[in-house]
Structures are given as C-alpha cells and as structure tokens.
C-alpha cells in the first residue's frame, strides 16, 4: 500500500488506531472520521485530492481491517467525493459525509439499545461475552425501564474486556456474575438470553471477539435465544474480503513465552449466521436470511477494492 502522499501527521494518527486493541469498533470509527475531517483541512494539491483520499481511506481500513464500520465510513467518504469533481467542493462533501455517517451511527445505537432492551424481562439472566457498547446500552436501557435481571459475563481474555463490562454494570446497580472463559458452558446453563456485539456482519458469519462462536454453539445446544446487536454500519459490503487476522503480541497471553511453545493470540472468531436467532439493527430484528438480503445490496467503492488485505500501516 503506497502512502507516499499521505501526510506524516495523518499516518501517525492512523497508526494510533492500528495499535488500539481495546476500543470498540464505533469508537475507532469516530476517530477515523476525525482523521478524515482533519485531512480535508490540510493543504494538498487540488488535482490529487481524489487520489489522496483513496490513500488515506486505504490506510484507515488497513489499520483495523476487521472493523466494518471503518470500511463503511470510508465508503461513504469516497462516494461523497465522487459527487464533487472539484477539490474544494469534494472536501466539503467528504466532511459532510463523515458527519452524517457518525450522526446516523449514534442514532442507530439508541434505536438498537431500545429494541434489544425489550427482549429483557424481570428475573431473567442475560449472558454476554467480551465488551460491546451496544449490549451495555441495551442492559442499561432495560434497567432504566425498571426491569430486574442478572447478567452473566465471561472475562474475555487476553485483554479482559468482560471484566470492564462487569464493573460498569455493577456500578449501575445490575447484579453481575463474572466467570472465566473456560466456564462459559456453566454460566450459560443459567441464562435465558444471550446478547453479543459484532465488529462485522458478512453473508456467512458474524465477526466478534473470540469466544462468541462457542457461546453461539452452546446457546443452540441449550435452546437459548442468541442475538447479535449490530447497526447497518457493521454490515460489510459484499465485495470486501475480510483479511486473515494478524496475531497479536504473545506477551498479552504470557509475559514470557516458554521455549518450544508457540502462542497464537487471535482476537476474533467467526460465528455462522445460522446460529444467530436474529441481528438487532436500527431497523429492527433481522433473521439471518433477511440480513443476507440486505448485505447483498451493499458494494465497496472501486477505489477501496485493494484495501483490507491485512497489510501494516508503514512506518514514517
């Protein structure tokens, strides 16, 4: 990926996104939007604006290629620029598209929380895995409506995002049971409902924190409804190929790697859509077939077609 014409300031901020393994996909998308808006205000040659936009977008996607929200943000920016062939007008169009995308995402989050909260009733135990702002908001919405329920959370190694969620829910007065990932089957025995987030939805699978796939298998085996909370911004365009995940630092699993031991620190797994009861979107609940029909209507801008193949953002 050539980034010759991308300013160092922008590459530095993109690299911060690449190295952020704790923030959720929506938080990362907001930062990507801020970077795009900042870039449109920097001086550059007018004749090169559209080509440079593609380079910046490719760098953003390459930084976190599993995050469909960043892909769709860049898709919206590219299509907005196409409608304005002149550079000055294109700059304004890109900023407006970024603002509109992020506002839509925020409104979608509210709708999703309200819809998902209706699934939760008194004396219910809701299970979840890892940390999802959508799941958190749904649980907080349900408790604000006066419903009394418990939440079972797995820790989500190696970064233990589930521990953070447990603390936030407990501080809001929601009773929480926190267990290790290996005890997921035991925790789900008590569950009436499973809610998870998503980083990407494709025609065949849901991409989320590793451990989501076994949770879905256990839910199916035990007859527990399994819902994924994902706005339209998480729906990956049909011609965007999610790249193989690059393994993260072994030290997150063990401070020192024993001799002859290979540590594979992978964050994500793929849950087949057939295991998902429904995907809760801002438009309501979609069963897997309805989700696939919507996904097939989405396409990636041609300028971004080569992006997202797992390449590293280069050093300055």
Q: Which residues are catalytic?
A: 199
Where is average pLDDT lowest: 80-89, 190-199, 232-241, 300-309? 300-309
Residues 290 and 143 reside in one and the same domain: yes
CATH code (residue 253): 3.40.50.10470
Number of domains making up the chain: 2
* Closest by Cα among 158, 164, 154 to 251: 158
Residues 98 and 116 reside in one and the same domain: no
Residue-level pLDDT at 47? 63
Is pLDDT at 136 greater than 80 in this prediction? yes
DSSP 227: E
Residue-level pLDDT at 92? 95
Predicted confidence band of residue 309 (pLDDT cuts 50, 70, 90): very low
Residue-level pLDDT at 46? 60
CATH code (residue 98): 1.20.120.420
Residues 198 and 73 reside in one and the same domain: no
In a domain, 1, yes or no: no
Is pLDDT at 225 greater than 50 in this prediction? yes
In a domain, 311, yes or no: no
Mean pLDDT value of segment 274-281: 98
Is pLDDT at 134 greater than 50 in this prediction? yes
pLDDT > 70 fraction of the chain, expressed in percent and rounded: 94
| pLDDT tens per residue, range 17-72 | 999 998 989 999 999 999 999 999 987 666 688 889 999 999 999 999 999 999 99
Q: Are strands 205-209 and 200-201 parallel, antiparallel or unpaired?
A: antiparallel
In a domain, 24, yes or no: yes
Residues 150 and 163 reside in one and the same domain: yes
Predicted confidence band of residue 3 (pLDDT cuts 50, 70, 90): low
**C-alpha to C-alpha distance for 184 and 180, rounded to whole angstroms:** 7
| pLDDT tens per residue, range 143-158 | 999 999 999 999 999 9
Residue 21 burial by Cβ neighbours in a 10 Å radius (0-12, 13-18, 19+) = middle
Residues 135 and 277 reside in one and the same domain: yes
Residues 96 and 122 reside in one and the same domain: no
Question: Strand ranges (DSSP E) for 162-219?
Answer: 176-179, 193-196, 200-201, 205-209
Is pLDDT at 266 greater than 90 in this prediction? yes
| pLDDT tens per residue, range 94-129 | 999 999 999 999 999 999 999 999 999 999 999 999
Residue-level pLDDT at 307? 45
Is pLDDT at 1 greater than 50 in this prediction? no
pTM score over 0.95? no
In a domain, 231, yes or no: yes
Residues 101 and 136 reside in one and the same domain: no
DSSP per-residue codes, 297-309: T----GGGTT--S
- Give the distance between the most distant pair of CA atoms in the chain: 63
In a domain, 220, yes or no: yes
Task: Give the chain's mean pLDDT.
Answer: 93
Predicted confidence band of residue 5 (pLDDT cuts 50, 70, 90): low
Residue-level pLDDT at 48? 83
Residues 104 and 170 reside in one and the same domain: no
Predicted confidence band of residue 84 (pLDDT cuts 50, 70, 90): confident
In a domain, 309, yes or no: no
In a domain, 314, yes or no: no
Residues 243 and 227 reside in one and the same domain: yes
Residues 64 and 122 reside in one and the same domain: no
Residue-level pLDDT at 4? 52
Residue-level pLDDT at 32? 97
The SS3 call for residue 207 is strand
In a domain, 170, yes or no: yes
Q: In terms of residue numbers, what domain contains 79?
A: 8-108+300-304
Residues 147 and 91 reside in one and the same domain: no
Could you tell me which residue, 1 or 240, shows the higher pLDDT?
240
Residues 133 and 12 reside in one and the same domain: no
Residue-level pLDDT at 305? 83
CB of 207 closer than 8 Å to CB of 242: yes
Q: Which residue has the tokens 């429904």?
A: 278
């Amino acid at each position: 990926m050539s980034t010759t014409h991308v300013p160092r300031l922008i590459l530095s901020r993109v690299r911060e996104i690449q190295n952020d393994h704790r923030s959720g996909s929506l938080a990362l998308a907001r930062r990507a939007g801020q970077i795009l808006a900042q870039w449109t205000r920097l001086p550059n040659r007018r004749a090169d604006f559209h080509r440079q936009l593609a380079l910046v977008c490719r760098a953003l996607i390459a930084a976190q290629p599993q995050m469909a929200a960043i892909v769709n943000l860049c898709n919206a920016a590219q299509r907005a620029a196409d409608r304005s062939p002149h550079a000055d007008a294109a700059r304004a169009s890109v900023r407006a598209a970024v603002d509109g995308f992020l506002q839509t995402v925020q409104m979608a989050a509210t709708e999703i929380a309200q819809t998902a909260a209706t699934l939760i009733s008194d004396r219910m135990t809701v299970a979840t895995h890892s940390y999802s702002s959508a799941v958190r908001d749904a649980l907080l919405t349900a408790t604000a409506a006066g419903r009394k329920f418990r939440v079972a959370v797995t820790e989500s190694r190696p970064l233990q995002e589930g521990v953070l969620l447990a603390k936030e829910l407990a501080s809001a007065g929601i009773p929480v049971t926190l267990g290790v990932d290996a005890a997921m089957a035991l925790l789900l025995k008590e569950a009436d409902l499973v809610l998870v987030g998503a980083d990407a939805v494709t025609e065949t699978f849901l991409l989320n924190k590793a451990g989501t796939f076994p949770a879905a298998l256990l839910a199916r085996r035990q007859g527990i409804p399994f819902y994924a909370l994902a706005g339209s911004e998480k729906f990956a365009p049909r011609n965007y190929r999610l790249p193989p995940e690059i393994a993260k630092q072994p030290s997150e699993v063990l401070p020192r790697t024993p001799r002859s031991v290979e540590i594979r620190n992978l964050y994500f797994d793929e849950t087949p859509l057939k295991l998902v009861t429904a995907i809760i979107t801002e438009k309501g609940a979609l069963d897997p077939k309805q989700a696939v029909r919507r996904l097939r209507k989405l396409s990636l801008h041609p300028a971004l077609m080569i992006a997202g193949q797992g390449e590293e953002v280069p050093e300055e």
